[in-house]
Structure 1
Amino acid sequence: MTKIVVVDNHGQFTHLERRALRDLGVETELIDNETPPEDIDADGVVLSGGPDMDRIGNSPAYLEGDAPVLGICLGMQLIAEELGGRVDSGEYGGYADVNVEIVSNDDPLIGSLAPETRVWASHADEVVELPDGFDLTARSDVCDVEAMCDTDRDLYGVQWHPEVAHTEEGEEVFENFLEICRQ
């Protein structure tokens, strides 16, 4: 059975990420972000959202492993920042219902959602410059980088929260990540 760990970066929806995976029949575990990556045996890693970069614990170290990584909101931002991209305050600010344009059908995480999807996202902070090797895969009129991926390294990120009911095709994002982890 495929096992995916959810690394808790103290976000308010983290428990919903674990539940979404469990509801798909995935063996899943919610782990504290201070857990060393070498203590984990998993086929995939979800880096949860959270309140700020000062509380990400060992999350950056999970980017160096062999398992695919999905960063959600803060999780995506820490991927970008750790790998040479740039994160800054968003112009929009807080949570909003957003129409997202999928700009890459080749992204195995969100390409199936094309041409657009409706999501629930926070834009207090956002990726403003992609790291080397990453492709822009989604954008909106609120945020230029709603999603990104580096398929060579199996690193994926979404600014939005696929685990909440307000995101229309959130379950499909988790199904797609599960398929990535099984390959």
Structure 2
Amino acid sequence: MTRILVVDNHGQFTHLEHRLLRDLDGVDAELVDNTTPPEDIDADGLVLSGGPDMDDIGHCPDYLDLDVPVFGVCLGMQLIATELGGRVESGDYGGYADVDVDITDEDDPLVGSLAPETRVWASHADEVVDLPEGFTRTAESDICDVEAMSNTDRDLYGVQWHPEVAHTEEGEAVFENFVAICE
């Protein structure tokens, strides 16, 4: 079984990420708090959940050095970007909405299978505006230049949207792709 931990950054949809992964065949999923010491993390991959506050990310920066694939969702992607030298700013669009996303890298192991476009549920209160070194933009929309990003050399991935909610058309496929990366 592939063991994936969902790191709880206290977002309103974190339980849905855990449930979706738990329901996939061959996945042992567990929900852990972001205060879990890095030495206690034993997993084939980590999902850094969304959350309300960049000041409440616990040990998430330390998890980026654990040599396992990491998938950041919304705030999870933003903290990856911030910790590795990228930049996050307030978005022009703000709250939650349906968004048409264009996949810009069809070879990306996380979102490439969704090409050429997909409809997602996303918040754009904050968004990545500058990618960290070594990352590629893998999706964009007319309201956000960086809807998804990847560094395949380090197995670090992120999406601005919430693949775990029913409003996102191909959200389960994103999680299935992440499981394949972790196997």
Q: TM-score range by the shorter chain?
A: over 0.9
2:93 equivalent in structure 1? 92
How do 1:71-90 and structure 2 match up within 5 A?
Answer: 71-90=72-91
1:48 — aligned with what? 49
* TM-score, length of structure 2 as denominator length: 0.99
1:165 correspondence with 2:166: yes
**Partner Cα distance (2:76, 2:157) in 1:** 10
Q: Which amino acid aligns with 1:55?
A: D
Distance 1:38 1:169 in 2: 34
Query: What corresponds to 1:113 in structure 2?
Result: 114
Q: What per-residue deviation string (whole Å, max 9, x for no partner) do you get for residues 109-135 of structure 1?
A: 000000000000000000000000000
CA RMSD of the aligned region, Å? Answer: 0.5
Gaps of 5+ in 2: none
> C-alpha separation between the residues in 2 aligned to 1:2 and 1:138?
27
Task: Please give the alpha-carbon distance, in whole angstroms, between the structure 2 residues aligned to 1:51 and 1:4.
Answer: 22
1:38 paired to 2:39:
yes
State the partner residue of 1:5.
5
Deviations 1:5-30 (A, max 9, x none): 00000000000000010110310110
Structure 2 residue matching 1:160: 3-state secondary structure: coil
Taking structure 1 as the reference length, what is the TM-score of the superposition?
0.99
Match in the other structure for 1:57:
58
Q: Partners in 2 of 1:47 and 1:122 — Cα distance?
A: 16
Amino acid at match of 1:82: E
Count of aligned residue pairs for this structure pair = 182
Q: Distance in 1 between matches of 2:61 and 2:97?
A: 27
1:134 correspondence with 2:132: no
Distance 2:36 2:30 in 1: 12
Q: Secondary structure at the match of 1:121?
A: strand
State how far apart, in whole Å, the 2-side matches of 1:79 and 1:66 are.
14
Cα shift at 1:37: 1.6
Question: Percent of aligned pairs with the same residue?
Answer: 78
Structure 1 unaligned segments of length 5 or more: list them: none
User: What is the aligned partner in structure 1 of residue 23 from structure 2?
Assistant: 23
Aligned-partner Cα distance in 2 for 1:54–1:134:
23
- Structure 1 residue identity aligned to 2:8: D
Q: Does residue 123 of structure 1 match 2:124?
A: yes
Q: Matched residue of 1:42: which SS?
A: coil
Deviation, structure 1 residue 81: 0.2
Kindly state the Cα deviation for residue 144 of structure 1 after the two structures are TM-superposed.
Answer: 0.5
Flag as ranges the 4+ runs of structure 1 deviating above 4 A.
Answer: none
- Partner residue of 1:103? 104
